[in-house]
Amino acid sequence: MEENQLVQTASENVIPYLVHFGDMGVSPRVLRLDGENIAFVERCEGPRLGNYIPFASEAELNVAIYSLGKKIAYANKHGVFHGDFTTDNVIVKEGNGPVIIDWDGASLGGVFESDIDYFFSSMDQELRDMRFEEWMKEAYGREIKIKRKFTDQQIMEKYYRMLENFHITGLL
């Protein structure tokens, strides 16, 4: 494993979506696959959202939280639920906005509580008193209504191409 990589495990039905989400800036970019439930992802530099909040201006927070709302809505719209969506699992990358990490508890469908509700229920009261929830829910609501640009079939085809490349290069 190279210095700029981290191992990300997830269920085999979620990994194809992580490949796609990495390309879309929702999660770290998948650099290579190792089997059906292990991915090597790009190491993201930047503070965790919980550490970023006390030092950011209200305008910076508004942009970051709004972007985060759109990104988690994008994942949920594809039927993928993070399962542990907290400020500890969001890295704020300079110039790229927030990136959602640690998808090992993610599931495909079957979750009744949205990630956004879990996010706010897990926040401490001081953070909940800020306007985050309003900003994020507005972004989430707008994104969830937008028609998906990529079908499940397109996402799976991209994943299988990447997995096929892994098997070909792994044999050489």
The predicted-structure confidence for 29-79, as pLDDT tens digits, reads as follows 988 888 778 888 998 889 999 899 888 888 888 888 889 888 988 888 888
Helix ranges restricted to H, the chain: 15-24, 49-52, 58-77, 115-122, 125-128, 132-145, 152-171
What pLDDT is stored for residue 130 in this prediction?
A: 65
Binning pLDDT at 50, 70 and 90, where does residue 172 land? Answer: very low
Which residue is associated with the tokens 């890295």? 91
Distance CA 123, CA 87 (A): 8
Q: Is the pLDDT of residue 87 over 90?
A: no
Least confident of 6-20, 39-53, 97-111, 126-140: 126-140
The predicted-structure confidence for 126-171, as pLDDT tens digits, reads as follows 565 666 777 778 887 888 787 777 888 888 888 888 877 665 444 4
What pLDDT is stored for residue 103 in this prediction?
A: 92
Q: Is the pLDDT of residue 111 over 90?
A: no
Q: Which tokens hold the place of 14?
A: 């979620």
Q: Is the pLDDT of residue 99 over 90?
A: yes
Distance CA 5, CA 159 (A): 19
DSSP H/E element including 98: strand 97-100
What domains can be seen in the chain, in order of their start residue?
Answer: 5-171 (1.10.510.10)
* Residue 99 to residues 77, 112, 151, Cα–Cα distance (Å): 17, 23, 22
Which residue is associated with the tokens 């044999």? 171
Q: Is the pLDDT of residue 115 over 80?
A: no
Choice between 80 and 119, residue whose per-residue pLDDT is larger: 80
Q: Is the pLDDT of residue 81 over 60?
A: yes
Choice between 45 and 111, residue whose per-residue pLDDT is larger: 45
